[in-house]
Amino acid sequence: MRPVTANKLIAMLFFSCCASSAHEFTGPHGTVTLDWDVPNVSRVLSSGYGDSFGIEAAVNLGFPEPETVDDRSCINGSYFIFDVDDEFAFDIDETVSVEITFDASRSTGFWISYDRNAMSEPLQEIELEPSGERWVTRKIELERARFANRGESGTDIAIAAPSAMWPGTPDENHRIVICDLKIDRSYKTPSRTVSGQLDLVVRNETGQATPARVGIYDASGRMPLPAESAVTIRNYDDLTKQVFLRSTHSAISPWPHDNRHFFYVDGEYAATLPVGSYSLVISKGPEYELVTTDFEILSDASTDVNVDLKRWTNMPGKGWYSGDDHVHMIRSEKDNESTGAIMQAEDVHVTNVLQMGNPFDTHFSQYAFGMPGRYVEGRYALVPGVEDPRTAVRGHTISLNISEVYRPASQYLNYDRIFTAYREQGGMSGYAHVAGELFNVRRGLALDVPLGAVDFVEVLQDGILATDLWYDFLNLGFALTPTAGSDFPYLSAPGGERNYVFVGENFSTDQWYEQLKANQTFVTNGPMLEFTVNGKGMGSKIELSPGDAIKIVAAASMKPDIEALDRLELIAHGEIIAVATEVTEDNSLSLSHELTASDGVWLAIRAYGREQALAHSAPVFISVGDGFEKTDAVAGIARKMLGYLEEFDTVQVDPVSELEGWSVGGSLKTMLIEQRLQIIERADAARKVYASMLDRPLP
Q: What is the pLDDT of residues 48-65, one digit of tens each?
A: 889 999 999 888 777 888
Contact 546, 595 (CB under 8 A): no
* Amino acid at position 91, single letter: D
Domain segments of the chain: what residues?
Answer: 35-185, 195-308, 321-525
195-308: what fold? Answer: Immunoglobulin-like (2.60.40)
Decide if pLDDT at 1 tops 60.
Answer: no
Residue 13: is its pLDDT beyond 50?
A: no
Instruction: Tell me which of 69-78, 86-95, 243-252 is least confident.
Output: 243-252
Share above pLDDT 70 across residues of the chain, in percent, rounded to a whole number: 95
What is the assigned CATH class of domain 35-185? mainly beta
Is the pLDDT assigned to residue 257 strictly greater than 90? yes
pLDDT digit string (tens) for 638-656? 999 999 999 999 999 988 8
Statement: residue 21 has pLDDT above 70: no
Instruction: Give helix 415-424 / helix 441-448 axis angle, nearest 10°.
Output: 60
**Per-residue pLDDT, 250:** 67
Higher pLDDT residue, 230 or 18? 230
pTM comes to 0.94
Q: What are 586-638's pLDDT values in tens digits?
A: 999 999 999 999 999 999 999 999 999 999 999 999 999 889 999 999 999 99
Instruction: Answer yes or no: is pLDDT of 660 > 80.
Output: yes
**Residue-level pLDDT at 131:** 82
Tally of CB atoms within 10 A around 193 = 6
Q: Are 81 and 72 in contact (CB under 8 A)?
A: no
CATH code of the region 321-525 = 3.20.20.140
* pLDDT above 50 for 3: no
Label the pairing between strands 291-297 and 350-357: unpaired
Dump pLDDT digits (tens) for 569-590: 999 999 999 999 999 999 999 9
Q: Are 554 and 531 in contact (CB under 8 A)?
A: yes
pLDDT of residue 10: 27
Looking at residue 172, its pLDDT comes to 65
Extended strands (E) in 332-487: 350-357, 362-363, 375-377, 380-387, 390-391, 395-400, 428-431, 456-461, 464-465, 481-484
- Give the confidence band of 19 by pLDDT, cuts at 50, 70, 90: very low
Q: Tell me what pLDDT residue 59 has.
A: 80
Q: Look at residue 18 and tell me whether its pLDDT is greater than 70.
A: no
* Phi and psi torsions of 621, nearest 5°: -105, 120
pLDDT above 80 (res 519): yes
Q: Is the pLDDT of residue 181 over 50?
A: yes
Residue 575 near residue 599, CB atoms below 8 Å: no
- Taking 90 as the threshold, does the pLDDT of residue 547 lie above it? yes
Residue 12 pLDDT class (50, 70, 90 cuts): very low
> What is the CB neighbour count within 10 angstroms for residue 623?
18
Provide φ and ψ at 491, rounded to 5°: -125, -95
User: Quick one: pLDDT band at residue 5, thresholds 50, 70, 90?
Assistant: very low
Q: What is the C-alpha separation between 486 and 202, in angstroms, rounded?
A: 25
Question: Residue 132's pLDDT band (boundaries 50, 70, 90)?
Answer: confident
Residue 253 — very low, low, confident or very high, per pLDDT cuts 50/70/90? confident
